[in-house]
C-alpha cells in the first residue's frame, strides 16, 4: 500500500502512478506558466481576498448545510444533510472553479478563455466568470449534449459566450475536451483553458481540487456547529470528480467513510455506462494517467449516462490514488435509480437535484437505511435540476 502521508501531487503532478502531463509539447510552457502563477497566487493575500469577496458576495457562499428531515424520515435511517451547492450562483459547484480560473487568467494577462462542457454547467460558469472579469469566451460542447441541454446553451450565449458545436467522435464531453485542447494548442499565447474538473494535465487536477475544497472546508465547520461531531459518511457523484474531491478533501484525515458514485447508465453488463472503476482499466487520456473505459487496443470507448455531466470515459487521477489507498469507496447508480432519486428529492424536500447529483441521492438512500438513526451522512448536492427538467419530461414521454 502507498503511504498516505505523502503530499500529492508531487512536483511533476503525479498522484502515485496516476496523473502527470500527457499533452503536446506546444502546451508544456503554458502549463508551466500556469503552475508558477497559481503557486504564487495561492500565497498572495490580495488574490485570496479578491476570491473570498467574490465567493461571499457573488457566488453566495457559504452555501447552507441543510438537514433533509423529510428525506431522513422517509428513508428511516441515518440523518441526511445536503450540502447545497445547487444554491451557488449559476446553479452548481462549477462556479467555484470557474471564478478562480477566470480571475487567474486575467492575472496572467490572457484575453480569452475557452472551456469544454458536458451538462452545460461548467460552460455557463465559465461564461459567467468571463463576463464578470471581462474576457472573451468560447465554449466547446458535443452535438448530443447541446441537444439534451439546450437551455444551458442559450444561457451561455446570453452571457456573451460563443458556443461551438463539436460533431465529431461520440459528440459528448470527451470530444468537446479534444476540441478545446486543439483550440488551446493553436491560441495558447493569449488564451487560458478553463478545464472544468480535476482532470487533464498537471496542474489542473490539483488546482481545480483547491478551488473546490471550499465545499468541504465549509461543510466540516457547519456539521460541527450543527451536530457537535463529524459525519459518519460522505457521498458525492463522480464524473471527472471535482465536486466529490471538493467535499472529501477536508475530511481525508478524519478516516470517515466516503463514497463516490459513478454513472451506471443502463447497467455495467450492458456496456452502456460511465463507471470507470467498475468497467475500466489503467490508461492515458486527455492529459493524464488514470482509469479509462477503453477497448483492448487502447481506443476510448463510448459512454452512456442520463446525466451529461457524468458521461465521461475517464476519472480524475487523484480519485484513482485515493481508491488504491482505500480512502474512498466507489460505486455506481443506474439511470433508473438516478431518475427515481430525482423524483424522490423533489417530492420529499421540494428540491429538484441535477441528474448528476441525483446519482448521489440514490446511493444515499441505500446507505442511510442501513445506518442507525444517530448516524450522519453529508451528501453533496452539487447542482440544481432546472437544466434537466426538459430531458426528464422527454424520458417520461411528457410533451411540454
Chain contacts with another protein (rule: CB under 8 A) = 12, 20-30, 32, 168-169, 174-175, 177-178, 181-182, 185-189, 282-287, 292, 294, 296-300
Q: Is 383 helix (H, G, I), strand (E, B) or coil?
A: strand
What is the torsional sign of CA 139, 140, 143, 146? negative
Find all residues with CB under 8 Å of 98, minimum gap 6, and list them: 115, 122, 125, 126, 128, 129, 194, 196
Which H or E run includes 21? strand 18-22
How near is the Cβ of 285 to another protein at its closest, in Å?
6
How near is the Cβ of 15 to another protein at its closest, in Å?
14
Q: How far is CA 314 from CA 185, 240, 281, 317, in A?
A: 21, 7, 9, 9
Q: Which is nearer to another protein, 30 or 119 (CB)?
A: 30
Q: How far is CA 360 from CA 93, 338, 342, 373, in A?
A: 14, 8, 10, 20
Name the DSSP letter for residue 250.
G
How near is the Cβ of 314 to another protein at its closest, in Å?
10
Q: Which is nearer to another protein, 86 or 311 (CB)?
A: 311
> At residue 291, what are phi and psi to the nearest 5 degrees?
-80, 140
Q: Which is nearer to another protein, 284 or 395 (CB)?
A: 284
Residue with cell 490580495: 46
> Nearest to residue 93, comparing CAs of 9, 214, 175?
214
Q: Which is nearer to another protein, 60 or 302 (CB)?
A: 302
Positions annotated as catalytic residues are 94, 116, 382
How near is the Cβ of 173 to another protein at its closest, in Å?
12
Amino acid at each position: 500500500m502507498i503511504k498516505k502521508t505523502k503530499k500529492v501531487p508531487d512536483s511533476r503532478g503525479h498522484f502515485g502512478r496516476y496523473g502527470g502531463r500527457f499533452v503536446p509539447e506546444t502546451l508544456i510552457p503554458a502549463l508551466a506558466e500556469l503552475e508558477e502563477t497559481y503557486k504564487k497566487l495561492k500565497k498572495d493575500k490580495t488574490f485570496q481576498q479578491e476570491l473570498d469577496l467574490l465567493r461571499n458576495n457573488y457566488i453566495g457562499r457559504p452555501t447552507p448545510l441543510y438537514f433533509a428531515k423529510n428525506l431522513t424520515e422517509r428513508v428511516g435511517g441515518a440523518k441526511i444533510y445536503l450540502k447545497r451547492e445547487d444554491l451557488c450562483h449559476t446553479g452548481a459547484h462549477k462556479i467555484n472553479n470557474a471564478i478562480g480560473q477566470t480571475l487567474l487568467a486575467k492575472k496572467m494577462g490572457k484575453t480569452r478563455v475557452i472551456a469544454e462542457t458536458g451538462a452545460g454547467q461548467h460552460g455557463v460558469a465559465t461564461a459567467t466568470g468571463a463576463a464578470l472579469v471581462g474576457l472573451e469566451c468560447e465554449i466547446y460542447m458535443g452535438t448530443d449534449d447541446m441537444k439534451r441541454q439546450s437551455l444551458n446553451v442559450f444561457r451561455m450565449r446570453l452571457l456573451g459566450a460563443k458556443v461551438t458545436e463539436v460533431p465529431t467522435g461520440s459528440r459528448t464531453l470527451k470530444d468537446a475536451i479534444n476540441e478545446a485542447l486543439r483550440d488551446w494548442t493553436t491560441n495558447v499565447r493569449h488564451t487560458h483553458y478553463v478545464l472544468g474538473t480535476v482532470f487533464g494535465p498537471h496542474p489542473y487536477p490539483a488546482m481545480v481540487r483547491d478551488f473546490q475544497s471550499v465545499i468541504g472546508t465549509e461543510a466540516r465547520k457547519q456539521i460541527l456547529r450543527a451536530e457537535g461531531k463529524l459525519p459518519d459518511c460522505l457521498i458525492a457523484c463522480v464524473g471527472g470528480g471535482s465536486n466529490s474531491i471538493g467535499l472529501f478533501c477536508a475530511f481525508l484525515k478524519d478516516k470517515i467513510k466516503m463514497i463516490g458514485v459513478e454513472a451506471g447508465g443502463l447497467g455495467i453488463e450492458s456496456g452502456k455506462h460511465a463507471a470507470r472503476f467498475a468497467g475500466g482499466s489503467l490508461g492515458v487520456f486527455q492529459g493524464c494517467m488514470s482509469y479509462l473505459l477503453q477497448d483492448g487496443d487502447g481506443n476510448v470507448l463510448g459512454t452512456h449516462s442520463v446525466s451529461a455531466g457524468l458521461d465521461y470515459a475517464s476519472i480524475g487521477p487523484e480519485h484513482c490514488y485515493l481508491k488504491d489507498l482505500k480512502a474512498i469507496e466507489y460505486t455506481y447508480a443506474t439511470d433508473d435509480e438516478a431518475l427515481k432519486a430525482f423524483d424522490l428529492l423533489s417530492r420529499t424536500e421540494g428540491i429538484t437535484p441535477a441528474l448528476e447529483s441525483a446519482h448521489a441521492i440514490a446511493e444515499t438512500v441505500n446507505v442511510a437505511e442501513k445506518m442507525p438513526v444517530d448516524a450522519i451522512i453529508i451528501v453533496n448536492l452539487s447542482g440544481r435540476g432546472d437544466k434537466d427538467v426538459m430531458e426528464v419530461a422527454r424520458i417520461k414521454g411528457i410533451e411540454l
